Amino acid sequence: MNALPASLQQIADEFAALEPAQRLELLLEFSNDLPALPERLAKHPELLEPVPECQSPIFLAVEVGDDGRVRLHFSAPPEAPTTRGFAGILHEGLDGLSPAEVLAVPDDLPNRLSLTEQVSPLRLRGMAGMLARIKGQVARSTAAGVPATR
Amino acid sequence: MSIPADTTPKFAEYAVGDRLVSTEWLAGHLGTPGLVVIESDEDVLLYETGHIPGAIKIDWHTELNDPITRDYLDGAGFADLMARKGIGRDTTVVFYGDKSNWWASYAMWVFRLFGHPDVRLLDGGRALWIAEGRDMTTDRPTISPAAYPVIERDDSTIRAFKDEVLGHLGKPMVDVRSPLEYSGERTHMPDYPEEGALRGGHIPGAQSVPWARAANEDGTFKSRAELEAIYVGEKGLAPDDDVIAYCRIGERSSHTWFVLTYLLGFQQVRNYDGSWTEWGNAVKVPIVKGEEPGSAP
């Protein structure tokens, strides 16, 4: 099994250490802590990529900054707390990593969060969809050699 | 029924007039002894972000499904769940939820598998309650455990299995999924993960009536006349038909089961909960692609 980056492994360990019912509470914390979009993106929703794999509307933008670090931005409505929670995990676990580190994140990340009992498989596939789209944007912007949002 | 029905005129027109309650009625009855309000959502965390005061949560995935077998709780499991939720056999249960009550209808349908007598649905569901600015809370109610008898699940009346659907080919069926799922196009879209099915299309002969056609913009149910125009007028179904409804895993078709059974008074409506995630993966079952119902082979 490929290793998770330390930031994601720490999150996975936090979930694993909890009783199953408490894991949902932690997911809710990630949902509540998801940062709002920066104004420049909030004003330009066309720069965000939809994630149709999710059952709830979510949009994301990935940037590679001048410092070579990946920056993630998500937009998901409060009526979709589980989707927001997954976005929150990805934000906390991936934001600030290098493109190579993001691209190396194992695709089975959603199954390593000890949530498979609480959260339905389709939901977890939605999170896998978010991760795949993040990687796609990172790959495209690093291949193009320009820090672009899409 | 121990708690009088909601006498809203719209509801009185339906075949069974006492299976719906309005937000107004519910707001006026919160806290009534013998009433339990259940929120059932697609999103497992939504209840935690705020719910109707006093409402409890039942999650379809973790509480109504068997964790090992693809099936529902058995009689003992259901009795135990009811006891823990403070529900007795004579409790009036009002369900509501997100997505225009898909999961609330699904939970209600599971309750009916065990014959729970007094089940009602909140017309408009969670979204309408919130849109009307009614109270929400994150406080979890204190539940007093109740006694609930062990009732064996009846899978013969309102539930259909794959072999029964095979034997039903040529008789009325309603596919309540979206038009693209019905035609089978969805599985051809690039980059999109399949919804767990290897084949796209629909069961031969099934009519396409997406569940949402039964709902108004605000999530409330359409009037009886409007519903009859769709299911009877347009699709040619009759109240004494033997009808099977299905979708992807049986949640959206629970919504249609509710409509046909209680709002239009159909006598024999079964929900095929295996739905497309079973049919679309089963070996050698007939499938029709495209927009026409097609016919049984």
Cβ atoms < 10 Å from Cβ of A134? 23
pLDDT at B1: 53
pLDDT given for residue B26 in this prediction:
98
Residue A148, domain member (yes or no) = no
Tell how far CA A114 is from the center of its chain: 16
B62 in contact with chain A, both atoms CB, cutoff 8 A: yes
- Which stretches of chain B drop beneath a pLDDT of 50? 188-192
The residues, ordered by sequence, that sit 6+ positions from B158 with a Cβ below 8 Å of its Cβ are B109, B112, B113, B257, B261, B269, B270, B271
Residue in this structure with the two tokens 């002894």, named with its chain if needed: B33
Structure confidence at residue B2 (pLDDT)? 81
Task: Tell me the ipTM for this assembly.
Answer: 0.79
Which CATH number fits the domain that encloses residue A47? 3.90.1010.10
Q: Could you give the CA distance from residue B159 to residue B168 in angstroms, rounded to a whole number?
A: 13
Q: Which range marks the domain in which residue A23 is found?
A: 6-142
**Euclidean distance between CA atoms B8 and B60, whole angstroms:** 29
Six-digit token string for A139 = 């790959």
Interatomic CA distance for residues A23 and B261, integer angstroms: 38
Catalytic residue, chosen from B64, B128, B247, B260, is B247
* B45·A81 Cβ contact <8 A: yes
Q: Enter the tokens of residue B124.
A: 């408009």
A78 contacts B44? CB cut-off 8 A: no
**Contact residues, chain A, for B46 at CB < 8 Å:** 79, 81-82
Q: Is B46 a catalytic residue?
A: no
Q: Average pLDDT of A13-27?
A: 94
Contact list, B195 vs chain A (CB under 8 Å)? 122
Confidence (pTM): 0.89
Residue A149 domain-assigned? no
Domain membership of residue A71 (yes or no) is yes
Is residue A83, in this structure, part of any structural domain at all?
yes
Compute CA distances B91 → A83, B29, B83, B153, B295, whole Å. 34, 14, 11, 18, 44
Cα B25 from Cα B124, distance rounded (Å): 12
Other beta carbons within 10 angstroms of residue A1's beta carbon come to 6
A131 located within any domain: yes
Task: Give the model's pLDDT for residue B188.
Answer: 42
Q: What is the pLDDT of residue A46?
A: 85
pLDDT per residue over B89-126, tens digit each?
A: 999 999 999 988 999 999 999 999 999 999 999 999 99
By residue count, chain B amounts to: 297
Q: Is there a domain that residue A147 lies in?
A: no
Cβ-based neighbour number of residue B194 at 10 Å = 15
| pLDDT confidence of residue A43 | 86
Token pair, residue A113, equals 């969060």
Asked, for residue A137, whether it belongs to a domain, the answer is yes
B43–A56 CB contact, under 8 Å: yes
Total tally of structural domains belonging to chain A: 1
Residue B59 CA to residue B43 CA, distance in Å, equals 9
Res A47: pLDDT: 86
| Residue A68 in tokens | 């070579």
- d(Cα A46, Cα A30) in Å, to the nearest integer? 25
